[in-house]
Amino acid sequence: MPGRGRDLALVALFALACALPFLGAAFSMDDAYFLAIARRILASPFDPLGFDYNWLGTLQPVSELNLYPPAVSYLIAPAAGSEWATRALLLPFDLAAAGGLYLLAARFLKRPLLPVLLVLAGPGYLLSMSHPLSEKLIAGFGFPGLWLAVKAADEDRPGLLALSGLFLGAAMFCKPSALFLLAPAAARLLSRRVPWRRAAAWAALCVAPAALLFLMNSGMAANFAELVLQTGSYHPRAVWSKQLRSVLCFAGGCGGAATFLLPQLALRRRSLLALSAAAALALVLPWLDTEPVGAADRAAGWLFAWGALASLAGSGAFWLSWSAAVALLQGFVYWSVVARFMSFMAPPMVFAAAAALEARLEERPLRRLYGGALALTLALSFSLAAVDARSAGAARELASEVRSEYVEKGRRVWFAGHWGLQHYLELAGARALDRSRGGWDEVRPGDVVVAPYLNGDMAKPSKSVLADVRSIRVTHPLPLRLMSGWTGQAGFYSNLWGFLPYALSTEPVEEYTIVEVR
């Protein structure tokens, strides 16, 4: 239909408009790990995991660290580490994901355009998809695959169902956590009474690529199984209240206004609205605190959790199965609650709310509501993006300073921590401290150590060190933070840092310590 074609073009343009500002942004967080594998691929394309890398504080074989195929590293390898080229190579997946979301929403909604734009504009989705990570491939293969499954079930088309299996199989091959997409697809097949043999063949197509890979690579399968079995040993898992808070707050916050306001407006039954508000309040009250929580974080947590609970209360079987699958994987399987995965709850939450609102509102007031939510969400997302860019850019700037002030003058430079800082400091000629080799004990007089404050798996000195020390505090004027290391509860990249995906805060974005050992 002409209207659908126009809408698809608008969705594609919107997806590009959201992606293009990030093309030249500095790498950060887990980007460094996939970029290291990409460098290896350029040198040895048939042995991508055959090297050692210090990603968790000690030098380890990457084959022991890796849990799934390095598909994204192969795709970005030709960029040779260029920020803009790396992201440009992955733009087709942004477009495929956006198109798949629109086609899927159009199966359920009369006016799908603005709800789809709301999903694409959400801070969880917009910021996460700026990273060269496997979640981008999950979206690029998975959303079209889910649409094909729904279309095949609705129209009784076995060929489309087989094609859906291939797309979803590709998503699961790139990262097995794409398993969540099978839940809504299976719910649709069941509701349409697709013959069980056909459904079983489809399921086999979905899981076959990942299953064959694990059968052929016992080491990767063992790594994956070990991570799943040991998930409970991570810090937040021992406290169910923080984990539950995190899942619900990330679900409600990652979509912006579309997930922390629309679900409440869409829920017609006042009793369910009041019950979900009360349950969210109970979840964020001090009796469940495991650490100090400020009033602003508590209020944000209540709003986000209320949006999530209201959505769950008002969703049908298809959307509910999708949301539940993501929440269960994050709550019980994945090592941490992270925005890049929780953002996959935004589509079912937004589309379920949109379906309910369409049934109650005329087109004009509905368009105004969507327009206001979209404006608020875009303002929030790009404000958070500015803060995130400051954090990532500071690491790139620091590495340039370290190269010119120390490395090029013959000083040996070490660093603690990982993430984007590791990528840029390694390119500058610095090396990571290795706890298995003594960590700071390897540092000698005349050496320089760079240590961040907000980072993971950092080697720390076991004794006092005679040194000249200076600190570089990174700030941003916007009172929003994605990661908290001082007083807030923001944990966008991992709920190890907080139960909110972002928070109102003026704390530093990061603080670096430069230690010149005497």
66-120 residue pLDDT tens:
777 899 999 999 999 999 999 999 999 999 999 999 999 999 999 999 999 999 9
Looking up tokens 């056909």 gives 198
Amino acid sitting at position 114: L
Asked if the structure places residue 463 within a domain, the reply is: yes
Asked if the structure places residue 84 within a domain, the reply is: no
Confidence of residue 233 (pLDDT cuts 50, 70, 90): very low
Supply φ then ψ for residue 511, to 5 degrees.
Answer: -145, 125
Looking up tokens 């195929």 gives 69
Q: How many domains does the chain contain in total?
A: 1
Asked if the structure places residue 313 within a domain, the reply is: no
| Strand 503-504 relative to strand 448-452, pairing | unpaired
Asked if the structure places residue 6 within a domain, the reply is: no
Asked if the structure places residue 414 within a domain, the reply is: yes
317-344 residue pLDDT tens:
999 999 999 999 988 887 789 999 999 9
- Closest to 136 (Cα-Cα) out of 87, 82, 181: 87
Both tokens of 294, joined, read 């400020």
Q: How far apart are CA 263 and CA 408, in angstroms?
A: 56
Asked if the structure places residue 154 within a domain, the reply is: no
Q: How far apart are CA 152 and CA 98, in angstroms?
A: 20
Q: Percent of the chain, pLDDT > 90? A: 73
388-445 residue pLDDT tens:
999 999 999 999 999 999 999 999 999 998 899 999 999 999 999 998 888 888 889 9
Per-residue pLDDT averaged across 441-467, rounded? 86
Range from 125-129, 363-367, 461-465 carrying the lowest mean pLDDT: 461-465
Asked if the structure places residue 110 within a domain, the reply is: no
Asked if the structure places residue 419 within a domain, the reply is: yes
273-316 residue pLDDT tens:
999 999 999 999 988 888 889 999 999 999 999 999 999 888 88
**Domain residues for 460?**
394-517
Cα Rg, the chain, nearest whole Å: 23
Q: How far apart are CA 20 and CA 46, in angstroms?
A: 32
Supply φ then ψ for residue 39, to 5 degrees.
Answer: -65, -40
pLDDT at residue number 463: 82
